[in-house]
Chains A and B, each alone.
Chain A
Amino acid sequence: MSVLLIAEHNNKEVRPFTYNAITAASQINEDLHVLVLGHQADDVAKSLSEVPNVKKVIHVDNEIYENYIAENYTAAIIKHAESYSHIVSSANTFGKNLMPRIAALLDTSQVSDIIKVISEDTFLRPIYAGNAFATVKSNDKKKCVTIRPTSFDPADKSGGSAEITKSDPAEASSSTKFLKKEEVKSDRPELGTARIVISGGRGMQNGENFKLISDIADKLNAAIGASRAAVDAGYITNDHQVGQTGKVVVPDLYIAVGISGAIQHLAGMKESKVIVAINKDGEAPIFSVADYGLEADLFEALPQFLSELNKLNTIQK
């Protein structure tokens, strides 16, 4: 049977992790259908129909799907579940909020946050903040799976021409109301998909000092991350948090500044290709995962780093 992927989008554009989830979903079964629930999201449906891996797009347009109300989404997804062997989405806050609600109604034990598809029913997933990997086999007839997006490459975006079918909305929940979204807009690359990430921790001491980080981020076209301690202390907003209870990032280059390297932080970044740590404590655990460690005071090292970067005549973008 086919796989149904729930698209994440903002009614105008497909959110990038949907493409990573498409790759994983089509490894489960090539007959991949995508469900777009949205309000005036025709462009989203169209973009997804052009993804070569996608065989069919089901588009449901209604104002009740303008925001991600899990209750409303679930009712619509359940209507389509019958014809599918797997229902999948990304394991980000979108999919984490939504998928268990679907799984419970289908009486299925969900497999969360997979990092590898071994077969149609067997997957690899991290447990204990990534300190162990479990190979798990789902014995449920219908499987609900969330995908760790950074463990799969994004699918090609063009060349396909899947059919788009329209479908009717399900009933809306009257007990949940969306009030507002405080989105932090920035021109920088997204944390989850950036090629370079530079993160600050408690060692930054305050929010103003994050300027030292953002200057370098601008230079390298990097996204900015943070430890939970830095977010808790109010230096920077929650959407920057990297780790077990934040975002998982796998950039080509991760620069950790004034971060000790607690296992909960490592859970979100230790798969990065190259890791740099700047910390004044030579014993800090972050050095145990760093390819290049610099034992130094960040308040001296960061300005020097910027000026060395300025000396380079080319920087990869």
Chain B
Amino acid sequence: MKILVAVKRVIDYNVQIRVKEDGSGVVTDNVKMSTNPPDDNAIEEAVKIKEAGKAKEIVAITIGEEKAQETVRKALAVGADRGIHVKVDNVIEPLAVSKILKKIVEKENPDLVFMGKQAIDDDCNQTGQMLAALLNWPQATFASKIEVKDNVLEVTREIDEGLETIEVNVPAIVTCDLRLNEPRYASLPNIMKAKKKPIEQLNASDLGVDINPRIEQIKVEEPPKRKAGIKVASVEELVQKLKNEAKVI
């Protein structure tokens, strides 16, 4: 089997987000960037499947500016075999990302595409489902467990009511939850080895897909701040306040 894994470069989850004063977006200059966290789980799962002898090749792909390559490099250090970087200069929407991924899938013919369930910058939670639709493939979203059985996958999905298990035929798209596995750290020798692994570079414009945004971002602002609260000295005081001041119990 061949597995394609989509990894996105985003502002690191520990960074305190700051909104730009002109309302045009959030500050990204000199801000720590990392792989979107669930995309690390997607890579990890692919590597585990390969280690179990059930996959032959893992290709990591990112779509983004020049530096997005670092994200692919990291995937290579963890165990992906080769990388693809589709260069775009501006922020692109999940619909456009999924159209680019579709082109790559048609070229690479993977059996599975693994992705994160949600990018922590746009919080869209769309790309995997969109790609599945465009390819007319089955989708298994929010996966917290994957079992590979010949030509089907049994996937446990995290849903609001609890857990759901579905079976999808290969080829399929899986979007991963953080609970799917524990991503490993790349060892130094593997980081060195990854430098020699190939990364193919393409331009989005060469793929013939329309990536123009359909959604205009009119403004970005800070959410309203909560007004400062107080510390109470005892449980007794807390209960009195909840009863008589806040009147919520």
Interface set of A (CB-CB < 8 Å, partner B): 67, 69-71, 74, 92-94, 96-105, 107-113, 122, 126-140, 173-184, 192, 196, 220, 228, 231-232, 237-239, 244-245, 247, 252-253, 263-264, 270, 273-276, 282, 287-296, 301, 304-305, 308-309, 312, 315-316
Using CB atoms, name the residue of chain A closest to B23. A135
Docked complex Cα distance between A182 and B160 (Å): 11
Partner among A181, A264, A276 whose Cβ is within 8 Å of the Cβ of B164: A181
Docked complex Cα distance between A292 and B162 (Å): 31
Docked complex Cα distance between A264 and B214 (Å): 28
Show 9 A/B contacts (Cβ-Cβ < 8 Å), sorted by A: A98-B129, A129-B17, A131-B17, A182-B164, A184-B161, A237-B163, A245-B178, A291-B246, A294-B238
Using CB atoms, name the residue of chain A closest to B213. A109
Partner among A99, A136, A228, A309 whose Cβ is within 8 Å of the Cβ of B239: A309
Q: Are B13 and A264 in contact (CB under 8 A)?
A: yes
Category for how many chain B residues contact A: 35 or more
Q: Are A309 and B215 in contact (CB under 8 A)?
A: no
Partner among A69, A128, A220, A292 whose Cβ is within 8 Å of the Cβ of B123: A128
B188 at the interface (CB under 8 A from A): no
Docked complex Cα distance between A130 and B223 (Å): 7
Partner among B19, B141, B166, B168 whose Cβ is within 8 Å of the Cβ of A96: B141
Residues of chain A lying within 8 A (CB to CB) of residue B39: none
B169 at the interface (CB under 8 A from A): yes
Given contacts A96-B125, A100-B129, contact A182 B163 (CB under 8 A): yes
Docked complex Cα distance between A174 and B152 (Å): 12
Query: What does DSSP make chain B's interface, helix, strand, loop or mixed?
Result: mixed
Partner among A93, A136, A182, A309 whose Cβ is within 8 Å of the Cβ of B218: A136
Give the shortest distance, in Å, between B77 (CB) and chain A (any CB). Answer: 25
Residues of chain A lying within 8 A (CB to CB) of residue B134: 104-105
Binds A, one of B68-76, B93-101, B199-207: B93-101
Docked complex Cα distance between A80 and B168 (Å): 26
Q: Are B166 and A133 in contact (CB under 8 A)?
A: no
Q: Are B166 and A127 in contact (CB under 8 A)?
A: no
Beyond A70-B139, A113-B125, A289-B226, 14 additional pairs, beta carbon < 8 A: A97-B139, A101-B139, A109-B213, A111-B215, A127-B122, A136-B216, A137-B216, A175-B138, A180-B164, A196-B249, A252-B248, A263-B17, A275-B226, A309-B239
Residues of chain B lying within 8 A (CB to CB) of residue A92: 160
- Render B122-140 as a binary contact track against A, CB cut-off 8 A, 1 for contact: 1111111111111001111
Residues of chain A lying within 8 A (CB to CB) of residue B52: none
Binds A, one of B43-51, B53-61, B228-236: B228-236
Docked complex Cα distance between A113 and B223 (Å): 15
Using CB atoms, name the residue of chain A closest to B221. A133
Using CB atoms, name the residue of chain B closest to A92. B160
Using CB atoms, name the residue of chain A closest to B227. A291
Q: Which 5 A-B pairs have the closest CB atoms?
A: A100-B129, A104-B130, A109-B214, A104-B133, A100-B126
Q: Which of B190-220 contact A (CB under 8 A)?
A: 213-220
Given contacts A100-B94, A181-B163, contact A305 B138 (CB under 8 A): no
Partner among A177, A274, A276 whose Cβ is within 8 Å of the Cβ of B167: A177
Q: Are B235 and A304 in contact (CB under 8 A)?
A: yes
Docked complex Cα distance between A316 and B222 (Å): 35
Partner among A99, A133, A173, A292 whose Cβ is within 8 Å of the Cβ of B223: A133
Docked complex Cα distance between A247 and B161 (Å): 11
Give the shortest distance, in Å, between B146 (CB) and chain A (any CB). Answer: 13
Residues of chain A lying within 8 A (CB to CB) of residue B243: 312
B177 at the interface (CB under 8 A from A): yes
Q: Are B239 and A176 in contact (CB under 8 A)?
A: no
B104 at the interface (CB under 8 A from A): no
Binds A, one of B1-9, B82-90, B113-121: B113-121
Q: Are A110 and B95 in contact (CB under 8 A)?
A: yes
Docked complex Cα distance between A301 and B222 (Å): 35
Residues of chain B lying within 8 A (CB to CB) of residue A287: 229, 231
Q: Are A245 and B118 in contact (CB under 8 A)?
A: yes
Give the shortest distance, in Å, between B12 (CB) and chain A (any CB). Answer: 11
Partner among A70, A94, A239, A245 whose Cβ is within 8 Å of the Cβ of B129: A70
Give the shortest distance, in Å, between B185 (CB) and chain A (any CB). Answer: 18
Docked complex Cα distance between A8 and B141 (Å): 18
Q: Are B223 and A175 in contact (CB under 8 A)?
A: no
Q: Are A132 and B166 in contact (CB under 8 A)?
A: no
Q: Are B163 and A132 in contact (CB under 8 A)?
A: no
B154 at the interface (CB under 8 A from A): yes
Q: Are B168 and A100 in contact (CB under 8 A)?
A: no
- Which of B17, B128, B164 is the most central at the interface, judged by chain A CB atoms within 10 Å of its CB? B164
Docked complex Cα distance between A103 and B11 (Å): 27
Docked complex Cα distance between A169 and B63 (Å): 38
Docked complex Cα distance between A136 and B132 (Å): 25
Using CB atoms, name the residue of chain B closest to A67. B164
Give the shortest distance, in Å, between A133 (CB) and chain B (any CB). Answer: 5
